[in-house]
């Protein structure tokens, strides 16, 4: 139902004085796809968003929407919808006037505009709110109006800047699904900028994890979660138990934990790390697992238990998620086992 187009960033980069905000970056968003730019603050995701929307000019490179090169175009000529973090609704206009603002700027006739405003309000389930003042709306309602306002003009690309950051947890989870459904039904090419890994994982087709002004890894959420390519990515996305060690003649041996010895064939020797996801580890009776560990704490989290274990010779606690609780022996010593092979990274944490 939409004129879905691709969004292509080619070699865009940006420096502010001595600070490199964005190293030359390439990104291709397929028509109708939602890509999340995920990263800590200062990773360059906001700069990327501002370059796409036209508020910043890249030092190098180009931005293309479909076949249109929009690099030199001012923001109002780009046909991009942007949903701001704090919604940026106009406080001096009613809900309907807010939603209709883009239509008014495009010179669309009043009757046609009124019809489209109504459809848009229907779409976000805010049908009878047209005459309300913005100050009368709750945070979640404002969020819906902001979405309706950016979608009513049928933009080629939708940018979402931390769209759910200002909502409380329950509402945020609801809106994640709703936003995702709307984006799918419109089939609109979208970029979601967020520092919230859960938001990125649940909402996007692909995730681009950014750090220090560049994309560190890009792929489907499942792919990145299961196969992070660096310690940075594995730690930013989900919880990781990382053992640093050395790879020598086909075996990885963890530093300080000689019992943790795993065959890794086909890899050259050198410093390496192993990454275990907490749900891939299993607790067994002492001596029955691959290594032994001591239970330090158990936390009940409703849907699961979180075990915090210590492994002799390993500094950080090891986190294990489990569906069941165990009768722990008096000394708390248990075995640790894993069914899936852990991820091998050819780097060690500093």
Partner 1 sequence: MNAVTTQPRRPPRRYRVANAWWTVPAVLYLVLFFVTPMLTNAWRSTGSPAAAGARGIWENYAVLVTDPFYFGVLRETILVAVIVTLVCILLGYPLAYFMVRKAGRWKGLILFCLIAPLLTSVVMRAFGWRVLFANRGLMNSVLIDWGLLERPVNLVNHPVSVYVALIQILLPFMVLSISSVLQAIPRNLEEAARMLGASKLRAFFHVTLPLSVEGIITGAILVFVLCNGNFVAALLLGGNSVKTLPLLIYQQFNLTQDTSFAGAMGNVLLVIALLGLWAQSKFARKQGG
Interface contacts to partner 1, rule CB under 8 A: 53-55, 74-76, 80-82, 84, 86, 88-92, 101-102, 105-106, 133, 135, 149-150, 153
The residue among 106 and 125 lying less far from partner 1, judged by its C-beta, is 106
- Taking the complex as a whole, how short is the minimal distance between the CB of residue 41 and partner 1, in angstroms? 17
Give min distance, CB of 159 to partner 1, in A. 8
HSE of 349, CA atoms in CB hemisphere, 13 A: 17
Question: Token pair 């979660």 is at which residue?
Answer: 225
Q: How far is the CB of 142 from partner 1 (least distance, A)?
A: 12
Region of 141 (left: φ > 0; alpha: ψ -120 to 50; beta: rest) is alpha
Q: Which residues make Cβ contacts (< 8 Å) with residue 71, sequence separation at least 6?
A: 57, 58, 61, 62, 63, 64
**Torsion angle in degrees (nearest 10) through CA of 298, 303, 304, 306:** -50
Q: Which is nearer to partner 1, 155 or 342 (CB)?
A: 155
Nearest distance, CB of residue 205 and partner 1, angstroms: 23
Q: How far is the CB of 20 from partner 1 (least distance, A)?
A: 22
Of 27 and 153, which CB lies nearer to partner 1 in the complex structure?
153
| Residue among 25 and 89 whose Cβ is closer to partner 1 | 89
Minimum CB–partner distance for residue 230 and partner 1 (Å): 33
How far apart CA 246 and CA 257 sit, in angstroms, is 11
Query: Concatenated DSSP letters for 110-174?
Result: HHHHHHHHHHHHHHTT-GGGTT-BGGGS-HHHHHHHHHHHHHTT--SEEEEESTTTTS-HHHHHH
The nearest distance, CB 31 to partner 1, in angstroms, is: 21
Q: Is the Cβ–Cβ distance between 251 and 259 less than 8 Å?
A: no
| Pick from 261, 269, 161: nearest CA to 179 | 161
> Tokens standing for 12?
């865009």
Measured from the CB atom, the residue of 34 and 89 that comes closer to partner 1 is 89
110-123 and 139-151 are packed helices; what angle lies between their axes, rounded to 10 degrees? 130
Q: Which is nearer to partner 1, 55 or 177 (CB)?
A: 55
CB of 126 to partner 1, least distance (A): 18
Per residue in 254-291, is it b (16+ CB within 10 Å) or e — as a string?
Answer: bbebeebebeeeeeeeeebbbbbbbebbebeeeeebeb
> Which residue lies nearer to partner 1 by CB, 131 or 269?
131
Nearest to partner 1 of 124, 224 (CB atom): 124
């Amino acid at each position: 139902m939409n004129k879905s187009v691709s969004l292509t960033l080619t070699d865009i980069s940006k420096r502010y004085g001595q600070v490199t905000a964005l190293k030359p970056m390439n990104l291709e968003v397929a028509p109708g796809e939602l890509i999340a730019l995920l990263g800590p603050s200062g990773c360059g995701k906001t700069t990327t968003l501002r370059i796409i929307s036209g508020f910043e000019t890249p030092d190098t490179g180009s931005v293309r929407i479909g076949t249109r090169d929009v690099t030199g175009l001012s923001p109002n000529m780009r046909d991009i919808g942007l949903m701001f973090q704090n919604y940026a609704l106009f406080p001096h206009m009613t809900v309907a006037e807010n939603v209709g603002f883009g239509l008014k700027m495009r010179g669309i006739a009043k009757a046609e505009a009124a019809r489209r405003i109504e459809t848009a309000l229907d779409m976000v389930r805010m049908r009878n709110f047209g005459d309300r003042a913005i100050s009368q709306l709750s945070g979640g309602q404002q969020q819906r109006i902001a979405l309706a306002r950016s979608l009513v003009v049928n933009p080629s690309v939708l940018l979402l800047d931390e769209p759910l950051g200002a909502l409380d947890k329950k509402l945020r989870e609801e809106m994640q699904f709703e936003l995702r459904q709307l984006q799918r039904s419109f089939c609109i090419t979208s970029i979601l900028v967020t520092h919230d890994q859960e938001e990125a994982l649940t909402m996007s087709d692909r995730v681009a994890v950014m750090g220090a002004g560049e994309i560190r890894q890009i792929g489907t959420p499942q792919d990145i979660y299961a196969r992070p390519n660096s310690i940075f990515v594995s730690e930013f996305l989900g919880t990781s138990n990382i053992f640093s060690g050395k790879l020598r003649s086909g075996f990885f041996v963890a530093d300080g934990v000689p019992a943790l010895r795993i065959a890794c064939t086909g890899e050259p020797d050198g410093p390496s790390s192993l990454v275990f996801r907490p749900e891939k580890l299993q607790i067994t009776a002492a001596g029955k697992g691959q290594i032994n560990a001591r239970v330090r704490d158990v936390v009940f989290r409703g849907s699961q238990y979180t075990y915090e274990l210590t492994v002799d010779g390993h500094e950080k606690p090891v986190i294990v998620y489990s569906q069941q609780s165990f009768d722990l022996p008096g000394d708390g010593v248990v075995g640790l086992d894993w069914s899936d092979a852990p991820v091998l990274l050819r780097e060690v944490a500093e």
